[in-house]
Structure 1
Amino acid sequence: MATTMGLGVAAALVRTSHLVQRVFGEVARAHGLPPQQLQLLCVLVRGPVGMTELGRLMHLERSTMTGLVDRVEKRRLVTRVSDPTDRRACVVRLSDEGSRLAVAAHDEVTTRLESMTEVLDPGERGQLVAMTTRVLAAYDPSWAAPR
């Protein structure tokens, strides 16, 4: 439902999501990857992550997550290593090549998204960050921390 100020909040969020996905997809393709593979690499930028946690973070079922990791591992962008806390499990970490690609693509996505908000003055940008962080934290507290 539209408001007197234009889009309703749900429509604005959906359109924003589509915009972010489009930028992410364009950057992924420029680096020769499907968007989901680049998303996996970006999740791993902060360090190795177990398969269960990866599935949770990416909202994928176990078999889908395994297939995704298999494909990215085949490209030599990630490796599986034994989980030091659980010998039955493994964690996924970036290879050197995967790390270079993930950092470069993440920086490109960030730069493009930041430039899109240049239509806002610094105070408005700060408000946007604060409000978005509050919404994310209310939905899932782990999203309040930078990824």
Structure 2
Amino acid sequence: MNKTAQAGQEPAAEGRHTGDPRTDVATALHQLSTLVHGIYTRISERHDLTPVQARLLCVLLDGPRGMAELAHCFGVEKAALTGLMNRAERRGLAQRSAVPGDRRALQVTLTDAGYQAATAFHAEVSAELDRLVSPLAPDARERFGDTMAEIIARCRASGCADPR
């Protein structure tokens, strides 16, 4: 018999608190991540994109990126990124070009079609995520936003994977 059952308590089910604030936050973050990923996947499919293509397009909305930087951002080897870029170029969503002054380096930019796809996808995801948090009171939304911004800033500062 497990300790929870011995104590006469129900085991913690998904969505229920365990009493340990660290576990509660970790569980909630995991569940929120799963929920957001599901939204992202569903909307990417509506836009005839894979989730990774949608992510690439959204990252490129910030401007051109080098292939090495993108590989780091996605946590993949350059060869895997090359495959992703080949597919994006075939679809006319992005293009690679030489970096001025460095013949070996390539930068990636959105095409007009890629920009339109990225902005449409981003707008729909943003609207869906806004609906997700809309029931929160304004002060709770602000605290939630501030907390997320702090976590993201710490992650970027410590060299964690790029949370885009």
Q: TM-score, normalised by structure 1?
A: 0.90
Gaps of 5+ in 1: none
In structure 2, the residue matched to 1:12 is 28
Equivalent residue number for residue 93 of structure 1: 109
Distance 1:38 1:85 in 2: 30
Q: CA deviation at 1:85?
A: 4.3
- CA shift, 1:3, in A, is 2.6
Which residue of 91, 97, 109 corresponds with 1:81?
Answer: 97
Is 1:35 the equivalent of 2:51?
Answer: yes
% identical equivalent positions: 36
CA RMSD of aligned residues (A): 2.1
Q: Deviations over 1:35-79 (max 9, x none)?
A: 111111111011110001111112222111111111111111101
In 1, Cα distance between equivalents of 2:57 and 2:98: 19
In the alignment, structure 2 segments of 5+ residues that lack a partner are 1-16
Residue in 2 that maps onto 1:128:
144
Q: Which has the larger radius of gyration?
A: 2
2:130 counterpart of 1:103:
no
The residue aligned with 1:57 is 73
Moved more, 82-91 or 10-19: 82-91
Q: Which amino acid aligns with 1:9?
A: V
Amino acid at match of 1:12: A
